[in-house]
Amino acid sequence: MEVFGMVTERLPANQKVTINCPLLGLSVIALMENETEATLENMYSPAFGVGTAQDIIKKVTGVAQSNDASEFMASADTERALVSTLNTQQVYEGSEPPAVDLALLLVAMEDPKREVEDAISALKEMSLPSLTLAAVNSRPPPLVTINVKRQILLTNGRIESYSLNDFGTFSPKGTLWSKISLRIKAMQMPSRRRATSEGPRE
């Protein structure tokens, strides 16, 4: 695997971020500029939808009348709530796969071209799809793995957004530093390891 970015031994382990792309045979090492943010969102919705207690009864019993609206308006009571424990019961609908937001800093310590410019090109290559004219053999952006502070944070993810925020001073040898923002999203929602063996908990 070809490695770009800050490959120096002087890079602090607690600030080191490695992004590997096995398909392209590329790896980029950078400094973590800010704290890494990982998000996971679970989605819930009311079991019977939001509505009045009368609406829920109709959904459960299948009852429907043409003058429902007029009857409800006529019997409206401003001191009565239109929700109940039944229609606020939340049901799990699914989860968005986890995503990781990275603010990276590339700094040239020995070789500006390899440590900054080639690393930028490698990350851009990881972000792009492979498209063909007829779309028969087109492919999405390749899968990547993120290693932060020597811990694997996300595997089998794809770069969802790539932003080159700032360029540093140019020198005869190349760019001396650059800031990059990445959002990498997992392609599958992980499950609890013991989900199949665990029963309901009291």
User: Does position 7 have pLDDT exceeding 50, yes or no?
Assistant: yes
Q: What confidence tens digit (pLDDT) does each residue in 164-177 have?
A: 877 766 667 677 88
- pLDDT, tens digit, for every residue of 123-137? 999 999 998 887 778
Given a contact cutoff of 8 angstroms between Cβ atoms, the answer to whether 178 and 121 are in contact is no
Instruction: Read off the pLDDT of each residue in 32-61 and give the average, rounded to a whole number.
Output: 67
Summarize pLDDT for 11-26 with one digit per residue, the tens: 777 788 999 999 999 9
In this predicted structure, what is the pLDDT of residue 162? Answer: 93
Q: For position 135, what pLDDT does the model report?
A: 73
Which pLDDT score, from 0 to 100, does residue 169 have?
Answer: 67
Mean pLDDT, rounded, for 187-197: 65
* Whole-Å CA distances, 4 to 23, 43, 74, 132: 16, 39, 72, 28
Supply 22's token pair: 């096995």
- The structural domains of the chain, with segments of one domain joined by +, span 2-41+97-186, 48-88
